Structure 1
Amino acid sequence: MRQLDKKLLRDDVNQEVVYETQDNLPEKIIQFGEGNFLRGFVDWMIQEMNKQGLFNGKVVAIQPTPHGKVVPKLNAQDSLYTLTLRGVLNGQVVDNSEIISSISRGINPYSDWMEVLKVAESTDIEFVFSNTTEAGLTYLKEDYTGLSAPLSFPGKLAGFLYHRYKSLGEMEAPGLTIIPCELVENNGDVLKDLVLKYANDWTYPNSFINWVEEKNRFCNTLVDRIVTGYPRGNEKEFQQMLGYEDVLMTVGEPYHLFAIEADKTVAAKLPFTAAGLNVKWGDVKPLRDMKVRLLNGPHTMMFAASYLSGVDTVLDAMEDPDLRKFVEKGLYEELLPYVSMDSEEKSSFADSVIERFLNPYTKHYLPDIGMNAVYKFKSRLVPSLKEYAVHQNKLPEAITFSLAALMVYYKSTTKEGDFLVGKRNDSIYTIRDNQETISLFENVWEAFKQNEMTIQELVTTVLTAEELWGMNLAEIPDLNETISLHVEEILTLGMEESVRKLVNVKQKSK
């Protein structure tokens, strides 16, 4: 079967795919990240605007990490890929596939940083989008000479902006609108602070700092769409349906929401709403709090307990009676009450989350949700854990169990490259996180294996690691003892039986 590229589209005139080539459009966006989410969300939105003649611009996609694998595949396919949206939206079944052509090219900054800096010199570039995961919006002390790419995303952006400032006339250089999509509260403000920190580290002049603050906009945002990526296990079905092979085909749900804090000038230059897209301009905090706590929170809460119980996807977990009780208990009893929003609106959203988790078309793999899980737990579940403990004068059972499950999930058998490898029955899985987190869990579980540390000492070490959680979690009353008991039980009974015991005891106590 032939591979997706421009030649395929020219040759196969009978192919039943909606496709519009826009090779001559200028590159208006530089995008740090080229993963499934951005390709199934932002780049799809750019495509929608381009199809209607509303934006008329393309995206330059930058590989965010040294071990990324998407850019070579993207360039081999002439920057084309297929997006399939499947599910139920407004009561209607949606099952659509489309070739996305909004990306012009991909660049690996670690081998071609000078090409990235050339993009900075273009006056056509107006916008920066990013999704480098929550862990990408963090500070990493590093040097920068201008000759090779910084490792961190904020460092790359600082170097990119400084090159633009110097090459286009310093204070006269046109600024950019920067729209991060990482699920971090006040992500635009956080990114701006990090860029300025690097500017100070690298002794950039005060005039550059003034230019960043006066000529560039950093927008806080909220994004919402479940994008599961490549349909592993169903490749042949999709190839038969599409009539070609696409190593970057991406699957997602039809639901989408993009909230952006920006003025009318930005909204006019990015006419998302005119294209019929669900984009809201204004204060994102209420929507963000609801979405992060009630959608992302349950995702992080469920992934380790479900995966180590023997299931692979969110749908698998929701079709297991005990795991579904576990998820619904956490969502409705422990997370929902502490979201500050209209009761009817947040209850409706919680119900929609369960419907989205039950989407039969979506294969949302649990290990993918578990990437950078410690930071996700910190941002998505720790606030609810603390509020529940204060208001109820006891600990939330599902959230605390999920933290114990996370710790067991991070128990590795070996290490491959930068990541750990765990084992579930006869299968293995990759534990992906930042090096600080990887090192901590590698060390504590090895110490436990060598009888140099008890479970309670292991749990204490993890909970008191303020660099992971932003606080000493062991200061929360009874948390250390509760997590230790859960971890011991999981190691003794297994995850599946431990979940069953947790939800059935709760049922009997009602």
Structure 2
Amino acid sequence: MNRLSAKTLSGSPTAFAVPDYDRARVTPGIVHLGIGAFHRAHMAVYVDDLLRDSPDWGIVGASLRRPDTKEALEPQDGLYTIAVRDASGTKARVIGSILRVLDANTQRRELLDLMASPEIRIVSLTVTEKGYCYAPATGELDPGHPDIVHDLANPDAPRSAPGMIVAALAQRRAAGIAPFSVMSCDNLPSNGPTTKRIVARFAQLRDPELGAWVAEHVAFAGTMIDRIVPATADADRAMITALTGLEDAWPIMTEPFTQWVIEDHFPADRPPFEAAGAQMVEDVEPFERMKLRMLNGSHSTLAYLGYLAGHQYVAEAMGDPAFVRLIHGLMTQEAIPTLDMPGVDLASYRDQLLERFGNPALQHRTWQIAMDGSQKLPQRLLGTIRDRLKAGAPIAHLGLGVAAWMRYVIGIDENGDSIDVKDPMAMRMMAIAAGAGDDPEALFEGLVALTEIFGTDLPENAVFRDTVVEHLESLFEVGAAQTVAALTHT
């Protein structure tokens, strides 16, 4: 069986979509840090749609931690297959917008020199919340983060995303080259301003004059990206081979729905994103908040409760009417009232989400969504909770999501089996859980004291405390399924 590559793709007729432009004419205009599945299911597809008429906007990706994406795509000339799946079937398409992938650990100087070159006008990011080296509760750079400590001591050999961006900007400044625009595509509240605050603060710590220059001259565009992207399994690879006749080391599975809202703030030039269906706006923050609170908050709640209830996939959890009622109630009663978006049909967006969560063709693991909860909780649930508490409104559904996270991170499921908790704070949380034993209130007290997550206000709020502890007690006593059923009974 032939492996996907430029040669094998051009040498045989295909019954699936392939790039409709000459890749030999494409030159890089974007460097993307954190070239994982999410980027390849979304931004890379939009750019692929533009390259026939705008060939100077190809993407060079960078893997910051592991070389697995480079190892998968390099033999394929950067090509990969995206499979759009729903109940009606699977549609395959080969994407050619990624010209190459660099491994930041072994090709750091090449990556920084490329970012510093005039042809690169945008540096975009999907490095997940933890990749920003910030305190989730405040959104500020954490100067004590090990990567930040390293990068300040070794400014020309950075390993963090903020360190790499600043190192490349410093090179451009020294060479008299205008700065690139920075575009965050991660699930951060106000991801444009947040990224600017983090990067400018790092630059200031490195060199006060450089920090002032970054703050004044570098544009940071905010975005909201919406597409569900499960992890790729071996069965998916086999399906792609059967469908296309070509082996693909890392195809991408996704859903038909896709949305991209972009803050139009690119003084260094940009592709015509709107021609590919992106929505260009002056202020992306309302759309970010809508997605974080409705999609991501619901997704995390589903992940923790679904996993504890024995559901391996999100669609399985949505097969339980009690879980559907829970997520409908969370969005309708608690999330939507915190959103101010005139002209946007939030009820319709809610209904779309319920349908998307139930897509049987997307095998989206609850365990995958549950990763890095300490970094996600402040944006996905706690911000909504704070607004509800300020309004004197109940937080029954949101509080259950927090309680489920607390029950999940003890690392033992309802059958007594180990949970592989993937989180940068996992060891601290499990130590707290070990000290709490079987006492839900002690577990709450220990975890809520993590001010990096909960700040200093929520631990002192009686409504928050009582709601979460009550749910936590129920999760220990009767389990996730019965707790959800009891909250949502009609």
Aligned position for 2:459: 474
Aligned position for 1:349: 349
CA deviation profile, 1:325-378 (whole Å, cap 9, x unmatched): 221121222222222223872222212211222233322221221122223221
Preserved contact between residue 94 and residue 254 of structure 1 (Cα < 8 Å)? no
Q: CA deviation at 1:459?
A: 0.8
Q: How does 1:355-504 map to 2 (within 5 A)?
A: 355-392=355-392, 395-412=394-411, 423=413, 425=415, 429-434=419-424, 437-449=425-437, 454-504=439-489
1:361 is paired with a residue whose SS is coil
Aligned position for 1:183: 187
Preserved contact between residue 179 and residue 217 of structure 2 (Cα < 8 Å)? yes
Normalization by structure 2: what TM-score? 0.89
CA deviation profile, 1:4-59 (whole Å, cap 9, x unmatched): 22332244345654235513422211111111111111111110000x31343321
Counterpart CA distance in 1 for 2:417 and 2:4 is 32
Q: CA deviation at 1:87?
A: 4.2
CA deviation profile, 1:366-421 (whole Å, cap 9, x unmatched): 1221122223221121122233334355x422211121111111122xxxxxxxxx
CA deviation profile, 1:409-466 (whole Å, cap 9, x unmatched): 1122xxxxxxxxx5564876532222xx2232121122234x8xx4312211211221
Counterpart CA distance in 1 for 2:232 and 2:262 is 28
Preserved contact between residue 305 and residue 480 of structure 2 (Cα < 8 Å)? yes
Q: CA deviation at 1:210?
A: 4.6
- Structure 1 pair 154/94, CA: closer, same or farther in 2 (3 Å)? farther
CA deviation profile, 1:103-154 (whole Å, cap 9, x unmatched): 1111121222112122134221111110111222323341335576434211
Preserved contact between residue 28 and residue 58 of structure 1 (Cα < 8 Å)? yes
Counterpart of 2:204 (choices 195, 200, 203) is 200
Aligned position for 2:338: 338
- Unaligned runs of 5+ residues in structure 1 are 413-421
Aligned position for 2:23: 22
Counterpart CA distance in 2 for 1:300 and 1:146 is 37
Higher relative contact order (CA 8 A, sep 6+): 2
Higher mean alpha-carbon deviation, 108-117 vs 2-11, is at: 2-11
Preserved contact between residue 125 and residue 176 of structure 1 (Cα < 8 Å)? yes
Aligned position for 2:103: 108
Counterpart CA distance in 1 for 2:294 and 2:419 is 27
Counterpart CA distance in 2 for 1:282 and 1:94 is 37
Counterpart of 1:153 (choices 158, 161, 167) is 161
Counterpart of 1:212 (choices 214, 229, 253) is 214
CA deviation profile, 1:475-497 (whole Å, cap 9, x unmatched): 12143343233323322322222
Counterpart CA distance in 1 for 2:365 and 2:10 is 35
Aligned position for 1:228: 230
Counterpart CA distance in 2 for 1:270 and 1:407 is 43
Partner amino acid, structure 1, of 2:12: D
Q: CA deviation at 1:180?
A: 0.8
Counterpart CA distance in 1 for 2:11 and 2:417 is 43
Q: CA deviation at 1:83?
A: 1.0
CA RMSD of aligned residues (A): 2.6
CA deviation profile, 1:238-278 (whole Å, cap 9, x unmatched): 32112122121112222222222224866x73101223x13
Preserved contact between residue 231 and residue 250 of structure 1 (Cα < 8 Å)? no
Aligned position for 2:240: 238
Counterpart CA distance in 1 for 2:390 and 2:214 is 41
- Structure 1 pair 403/285, CA: closer, same or farther in 2 (3 Å)? same
Q: CA deviation at 1:319?
A: 1.2
Partner amino acid, structure 1, of 2:300: T
Preserved contact between residue 227 and residue 251 of structure 1 (Cα < 8 Å)? yes
Aligned position for 2:256: 254
Q: CA deviation at 1:199?
A: 1.8
Aligned position for 1:97: 92
Q: CA deviation at 1:100?
A: 0.9
